[in-house]
Amino acid sequence: MLPSDYGPEDIEFWIEPPLLLSIQSDVRRLLDEGVDSQVLNLVRELRRIIEGKGLIKGINSSARAFNAYAIDSSYPTPPLELIGGVMTVLSYGYVGYLNGSYDRYMTGEVVFEDVGEFERVITRRAQVRERELAIKLLREKARGRKEVDLVILDGEIPIHPLPYNLPVEGGVLAHVTKVIGDLLNLAVKTGTPIIGVVKRVRSRLLSVLTNECLPMNDKLIASLVLNNGEYMVLGNYGEVMPQWVRVNYGDCELRKRCGGKNAGCNDIKELMSRRLSEGLANIERVFSGSVHPGLGMLSRVQVVFYKPRNGAPAVKLEVFNPSDKVSIDELVAYLESQTTDTGYPFLLDRVDEYVRLDPRILDYVRNLIIKGSRDLNPALLTMLQLTNPQKAYLVRRLEA
């Protein structure tokens, strides 16, 4: 039933009654489903397995100090939909915390593409730019111009399709191979750990612990299995990825495509068998470093989960630690000691704030283009028109 005493200050006042009823119905359904006993039993079993393997460790309460740099990027959403394509502004930069003081840098570029999957294009562009910035930092370190003890990335260390496959030679993603290879080579040369803090976790790598497809993502499972102040190292890519590919094609995909029924699923099983063989061969090509020697070091990237003492959910890390001068224990202790109420190390919070852009910058850039064109022809003017003027309020031009 609708509330009888709601007023203009309540959100229910502004929602159409049929929509409000549908929302309330779905909320009730989600509450009724909840977390069933089977999931809780699974969590207890996973805890037993992890303890039996000796994977769980307590996070050291005393943390070593590091001169750390965090790198992030940002772009306004939604992008500006113009008749001639999709436009946005990509900013990227770093924030370093060095001996009690900050070192900051930010730059960016205008991205204008006439493509259907713009989100994929801009995401990959951002990932490449972040890693190119990490390379720049490590080169500065190699020349003795910066003190960099470790580099923190927002997200995974590799860029898709790595580490599962190599980008097509000569294709649009071929540059990814060189960027990741150069980053890992410089990390080894300078003895600098690279840490990827993964926020959007949809992986199910913890399935390798049971050799069965787990029904929940790694972040949720780690949050339920680990106690506050604990961490675990699942293993390195060289160990985990082949196991995961076997579980994925031997169980996860079969459940998804066959609905748990073996009968009448032979064609799918044959397809998954081929995919498994191809997947293992592709991973071996990446880890062998046959195309770029630096890529072979991806097999040494460690998959780590820790649960902060402040009660936040578990955090997934990818750690490339090329030096014996610092241990995984010390790196995890440092990150945990810096974890804020957002659930992530404070340097990631700082760099996120630093590179964040106001969406209204998009209309500002559009107007710069128009004003900067002395001989504005009708075709260019048409190209710069909004595809959907009804959404113009989202990017109202910044006042001068």
Q: Which residues are CB-contacts of 295 (< 8 A; sequence separation ≥ 6)?
A: 162, 166, 177, 180, 181, 184, 286, 287, 289
3-state secondary structure labels for all residues of 286-310: HHHCCCCHHHHHHHHCEEEEEECCC
Render pLDDT for 3-42 as a digit per residue (tens, 0 to 9).
555 555 666 666 777 877 888 888 787 777 666 667 788 8
Residues, the chain, total?
Answer: 400
Q: How many CB atoms lie within 10 A of CB 140?
A: 14
Query: What pLDDT does 357 receive?
Result: 92
Q: Is the per-residue pLDDT at 263 higher than 70?
A: no
Q: Residue 164: its pLDDT value, please?
A: 95
How far is the C-alpha of 227 from the C-alpha of 338, rounded, in Å? 18
How far is Cα 191 from Cα 124, in angstroms, rounded to an integer? 27
Kindly tell me the burial class for residue 345, based on how many C-beta atoms sit within 10 Å of its own C-beta (0-12, 13-18, 19 or more).
Answer: buried
Cβ pair 321, 193 in contact under 8 A? yes
Integer Cα distance of 298 and 157 in angstroms: 9
Q: Give the per-residue pLDDT at 213.
A: 93
Q: Mean pLDDT across the stretch 300-306?
A: 97
- For the ranges 167-171, 186-190, 319-323, which has the lowest average pLDDT? 167-171
DSSP three-state, residue 236: strand
C-alpha–C-alpha distance, residues 56 and 51, integer Å? 6
**CA distance to 73, 112, 183, 330, 355, per residue, from 128 (Å):** 10, 17, 11, 28, 16
Beta strands in 12-100 (DSSP E): 56-58, 68-74, 80-82, 85-98
Query: Which amino acid is residue 286, in one-letter code?
Result: V
Ranking 3-17, 196-210, 297-311, 329-343 by mean pLDDT, the lowest is: 3-17
Quickly state the pLDDT bin for 83 (edges 50, 70, 90).
Answer: confident
Strands 315-320 and 194-198: antiparallel
The token duo for 288 is: 């062998």
Percent of the chain's residues with pLDDT above 90:
60
Query: What is the 3-class SS of 253-280, one letter each residue?
Result: HHHHHHCCCCCCCHHHHHHHHHHHHHHH
Mean pLDDT of 191-216: 94
**Residues with Cβ < 8 Å from 193, sequence gap 6 or more?**
149, 150, 151, 187, 319, 320, 321, 322, 323, 326, 331
Percent of the chain with pLDDT over 70: 89
pTM of structure: 0.89
The predicted pLDDT at position 235 comes to 96
**To the nearest whole number, what is the mean pLDDT of the chain?**
88
